[in-house]
Amino acid sequence: MDEKLVLIAGDILVHYEINEIGLLMNRFDVLQEPDYPLWAWDILWVGNDAEDAGRRQAYTEEGLMRLIITGVFIHHTSI
């Protein structure tokens, strides 16, 4: 994974294909297992196509980073 890519709460993601913007809300351990954490991010999506039921979604951190590295999402840091 990209060592330089750091995600923090408040960062913005842009998905240009579907015209939506996502806000990284919080990072959490899906398994709640301190020895083997599986980190994920809770994302709030906004945009014309965002439906109420799908506005808040979770992505694993590894999957999210791959989507950013491959250019599916454009990442904007909050700082």
38 SS3 class: coil
Q: Which pLDDT does position 74 carry in this prediction?
A: 96
Q: What's the pTM?
A: 0.85
Confidence of residue 1 (pLDDT cuts 50, 70, 90): low
> Does residue 64 lie within any of the structural domains?
yes
3-state secondary structure of 74: strand
Q: Please write the tens of the pLDDT for every residue from 5-62.
A: 999 999 999 998 888 999 999 999 999 888 999 999 999 998 776 666 668 899 999 9
What does the pLDDT look like over 26-36, one tens digit per residue? 999 999 888 99
Which of 25, 19, 71, 72 is closest to 44 using CA atoms?
A: 25
Number of domains in the chain: 1
**What are the C-alpha distances in Å from 9 to residues 40, 60, 79?**
12, 14, 10
Q: Is residue 56 domain-resident?
A: yes
Distance CA 23, CA 44 (A): 5
Give the residue numbers spanning the domain of 23: 12-76
Question: In whole angstroms, what separates CA 59 from the centre of its chain?
Answer: 6
Q: Indicate whether 59 belongs to any domain.
A: yes
